[in-house]
Amino acid sequence: MQNIEKFIKGLPKAELHLHLEGSLEPEMMFELAARNNIKIPFKTPDEVRAAYKFSNLQEFLDIYYQGASVLVTEQDFYDLTFAYLTRMKADNCKHIEVFFDPQTHTDRGIGFDVVVGGISRALADGKAKYGITSRLIMCFLRHLPEDAAFKTLEQAKPYLDKIIGVGLDSGEVGHPPSKFARVFAAARELGLKIVAHAGEEGPPEYIYEALDLLHVDRIDHGNRCMEDNALVARIASAGLTLTVCPLSNLALCVVKDLKKHPLREMMAAGLKVTINSDDPAYFGGYLNQNYIETAQALDLSRDEIITCAKNSFLGSFLPDDEIAKHLSDIEVYCFS
């Protein structure tokens, strides 16, 4: 039997929960700061890394939004996205569904076209050069008001051929999904897919709201559903996918120890769980590292790892024939 690390590295997989701004490595942060003449309060990439110690989501977000300020030109967004694709090629990742936060940039006077232009040009090159397929999801920042989300949806309208869906991120507690029910209804009317961060720090009630008021196609994180058996049963029977991010949960103290991560119990409860990196430049590991450390900490079986990889395609927004091809590639890799 192959060792588990080698097995994970070769396993075909998709990533469904990744914030592009969270893939900004400190080295690139310095490069872009110099290119754009932007001051950052650090002298070296190591100094930046040393500052990445968080005790909750908000402490991370404060640093993360500051880091994103070096992204200015279309080329910056291209470079950021292409660097992530290159990293995913190394992880044998075949498909990505990535988030971006338009408001983080448009609020600094960067054009929506600049952001989407650079990202989508890189995604097209990722397909051409690496064969990695992709979908782009635009997130509303939940700490901002509903009307700002409506304005962002309006700005997105000329680019809907490049955007598959909308999501909800930023500080969860105090900003429940209900705050955005109307703007998500408008997004659904436009034919967009719906996802939302829920139950990362927020209570199970926020997951109910994501289901009942936003009508999500997928739940991002969702860990805290485990506090409510009826909610678990409902998510399981609806067949909804959860995009779980173990190293993020550890870095933001959602779990105290990876060995105590609920992922295995979530799977055992019948939930469709996937493994993802969230903000890998900040949380110390890309996709394979999340698989490897989680498998080791929870002593996951080969079958459980395979199930997570299969779920990553089953829970994607790819057409059925492409999903079927990826599942058959997994079978070939695992059983021949």
| Positions in the binding site for ligand HPA (CB under 6 A) | 19, 22, 57, 169-170, 197, 200, 248, 278-279
> Rounded CA gap, 151 and 147, in Å?
6
Which stretches within 91-228 are classed as H helix? 102-106, 112-130, 146-156, 181-189, 204-209
| Region at 278 (left for phi over 0; alpha for psi -120 to 50; beta for the rest) | left
User: 31, exposed or middle or buried, with CB in 10 Å at 0-12, 13-18, 19+?
Assistant: middle
Toward Zn ion, which CB reaches closer, 290 or 306?
290
Phi/psi at 228 (5° precision): -140, 105
Q: How many CA atoms lie within 13 A of 231 on its CB side?
A: 22
Contacts of 319 (CB under 8 A, 6+ apart): none
Number of residues that bind Zn ion (CB under 5 A): 1
Number of residues that this document lists for the chain? 336
Residue 170 near which of ligand HPA, Zn ion, none (CB within 5-8 Å, type-dependent): ligand HPA
| Catalytic annotation, pick one of 25, 97, 172, 200 | 200
Residue 97 near which of Zn ion, ligand HPA, none (CB within 5-8 Å, type-dependent): none
Min CB(316)–Zn ion separation in Å: 16
Toward ligand HPA, which CB reaches closer, 40 or 173?
173
User: 88, exposed or middle or buried, with CB in 10 Å at 0-12, 13-18, 19+?
Assistant: buried
The answer to whether 322 is a known catalytic residue is no
Phi/psi at 282 (5° precision): -100, -25
Toward Zn ion, which CB reaches closer, 76 or 169?
169
Min CB(99)–ligand HPA separation in Å: 7
Instruction: Give, as ranges, the residues between 262 and 281 that touch Zn ion (CB under 5 A).
Output: 278
Toward Zn ion, which CB reaches closer, 25 or 172?
172
Report which residue type is found at 62.
D
State which residue has the least CB distance to ligand HPA.
169
Min CB(152)–Zn ion separation in Å: 17
Residue 200 near which of Zn ion, ligand HPA, none (CB within 5-8 Å, type-dependent): ligand HPA
Toward ligand HPA, which CB reaches closer, 57 or 211?
57
Residue 22 near which of ligand HPA, Zn ion, none (CB within 5-8 Å, type-dependent): ligand HPA
Asked if 21 interacts with Zn ion (CB under 5 A), we say no
Run of H or E including 91: none
Nearest Cα neighbor of 19 from 106, 134, 99, 122 is 99
Residues near Zn ion, by CB under 5 A: 278
Task: Report the catalytic residues.
Answer: 200
